[in-house]
């Protein structure tokens, strides 16, 4: 099947297959919104304001309404410029505002809500392709019940980015290289971590060329393992796309690889031109926000500082346990033989989140797009008894809803 074939193929069978996952996802998000509404009302706050007018959502709305060029100079000399925010979400907010009575903020909320459903469907498609339908449903529900899952319902860019990333990865896994490259380019216009999607597409694409060179029958022959069957027994990362797109011509793969980095490259180069600082202009913008990549030094120092007091020591221990859990999940992903593009994508997202010198409270949110890390847990739940899996997910969904309401009514996500 080619990229052209995917445009004319009926979507209803795929939607019917994903329906349980999407229904479960919608139920979890509805529970979170109900908890937020009740908690906010008890504190004399507006849940709508918390979802549309906090932190990043304000910056995105300002870009949609007024364009780029706005900045805030802080007393300590730092400069917060809206050039730090990639343009795809503001473009969509502006477009929806232009064709509807919605305000820019409400347009951002609608885009995020729709994108979250698209992300849930994309996560299901990836997990279903690799491990089967039950694991796909469990993966979506696990993504929904993340402690900071409320961000998926905010006018933030996480849901939009995750949707583009998940579907790009699915396109890679099924050999639809032009689609994969196009979606990777759009992901690169959404968040800086779009580099992770580009890296995944490039790693998988280059691997197919290497394997084709070593074995000419790689592209034009060979059998495809059954869904959720033989693939689950592989102990080394799968490189080849499995499925009908396995025999994609070399020019399609090459074009997909060329398309993938265009979004991120175009915006970074434009910022450099706009600021007059060349290719390093965007790095200077991020430096104004005290964002950078220091290999995790600042984060490690932040955790170490927690151990100066007993309450802080408890928080520091929890942070270390959280980081250890993330690393352990990634190791399990490798040992279970996840396909190469998933491993590259999750690895880059995790590295950028943990090794950046950004605000430390935002790290759980920055890790949210790394959904392949949830696949080992999804596979375990899929193998458990349905009643037990439902009880676990129900309990975690309730805790997530309460925590999300508490969190957003407090400091909120930066």
With residue 199 as reference, give the H or E element that holds it: helix 194-214
Please list the residues that pair with 79 across neighbouring strands.
Answer: 73
Q: What pLDDT shows up at residue 259?
A: 98
Which residues, in sequence order, are bridge partners of residue 370?
A: none
Cβ atoms of 160 and 42 closer than 8 Å: no
Q: Kindly report, residue by residue over 250-301, the tens digit of the pLDDT.
A: 999 999 999 999 999 999 999 999 998 888 899 999 988 888 777 777 777 8
**Banded model confidence at residue 217, pLDDT cuts 50, 70, 90:** low
For 394-407, what is each residue's pLDDT tens digit?
A: 999 999 999 999 99
Least confident interval from 73-77, 97-101, 226-230: 226-230
3-state secondary structure of 298: helix
The domain spans of the chain are: 3-409
DSSP string, 42-94: HTT--HHHHHHSSTHHHHHHHHHHH-S--EEE-TTS-EEEGGGS-SHHHHHHH
For tokens 């434009």, the residue is: 270
Which of 6 and 362 is assigned the larger pLDDT?
362
Give, rounded to a whole angstrom, the gap between the first and last alpha carbons of the chain: 43
Task: With a cut of 70, say whether residue 241 has pLDDT above it.
Answer: no
Residue 11 pLDDT: 62
The pLDDT value recorded for residue 319 is 83
Judged by phi (left if over 0) then psi (alpha if -120 to 50, else beta), residue 359 lies in beta
DSSP 356: B
Give Cα separations from 28 to 158, 284, 403 (angstroms). 17, 40, 13
Reported as a single tens digit per residue, the pLDDT across 301-358 is 877 877 877 777 787 788 888 889 999 999 999 999 999 999 999 999 999 999 887 7
Model confidence pTM above 0.85: yes
Residue 414's pLDDT is: 66
Q: What is the distance between the alpha carbons of residues 47 and 40, in angstroms, rounded to a whole number?
A: 6
What are the C-alpha distances in Å from 227 to residues 136, 169, 172, 313? Answer: 12, 17, 16, 46
């Amino acid at each position: 099947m080619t990229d052209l074939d995917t445009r004319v193929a009926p979507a209803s069978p795929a939607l019917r297959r994903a329906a349980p996952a999407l229904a479960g996802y919608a139920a979890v998000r509805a529970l979170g919104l109900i908890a937020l509404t009740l908690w906010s009302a008890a504190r004399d706050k507006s849940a709508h304001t918390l979802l549309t007018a906090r932190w990043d959502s304000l910056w995105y709305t300002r870009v949609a309404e007024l364009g780029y060029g706005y900045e805030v100079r802080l007393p300590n000399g730092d400069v917060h410029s809206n050039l730090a925010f990639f343009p795809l979400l503001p473009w969509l907010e502006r477009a929806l505002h232009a064709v509807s009575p919605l305000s820019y903020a409400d347009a951002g909320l609608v885009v995020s809500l729709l994108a979250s459903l698209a992300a849930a469907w994309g996560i299901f498609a990836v997990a279903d392709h690799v491990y089967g339908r039950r694991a796909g449903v469990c993966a979506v529900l696990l993504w929904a019940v993340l402690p900071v899952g409320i961000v998926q319902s905010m006018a933030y860019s996480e849901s939009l980015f995750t949707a583009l990333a998940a579907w790009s990865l699915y396109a890679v896994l099924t050999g639809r290289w032009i689609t994969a490259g196009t979606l990777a380019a759009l992901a690169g216009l959404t968040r800086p971590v779009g580099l992770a999607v580009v890296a995944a597409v490039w790693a998988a694409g280059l691997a197919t060329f290497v394997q084709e060179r070593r074995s000419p029958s790689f592209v034009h022959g060979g059998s495809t393992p059954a869904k959720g069957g033989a693939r689950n027994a592989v102990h080394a990362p799968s490189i080849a796309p499995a499925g009908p797109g396995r025999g994609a011509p070399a020019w399609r793969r090459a074009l997909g690889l060329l398309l993938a980095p265009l979004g991120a490259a175009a915006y970074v180069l434009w910022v450099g031109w706009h600021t007059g600082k060349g290719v390093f202009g965007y790095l200077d913008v991020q430096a104004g926000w005290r964002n950078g990549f220091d290999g995790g030094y600042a984060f490690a120092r932040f955790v170490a500082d927690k151990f100066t007091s007993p309450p802080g020591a408890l928080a520091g221990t929890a942070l270390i346990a959280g980081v250890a859990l993330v690393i352990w999940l990634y190791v399990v992903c490798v040992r279970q033989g996840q396909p190469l593009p998933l491993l590259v994508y999750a690895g880059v997202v995790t590295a950028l989140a943990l090794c950046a010198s950004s605000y430390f409270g935002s790290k759980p949110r920055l890790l949210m797009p790394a959904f392949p890390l949830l696949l080992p847990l999804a596979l375990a739940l899929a193998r458990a008894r349905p009643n037990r899996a439902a009880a676990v997910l129900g309990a975690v969904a309730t805790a997530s809803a309460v925590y999300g309401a508490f969190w957003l009514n407090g400091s909120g996500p930066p």
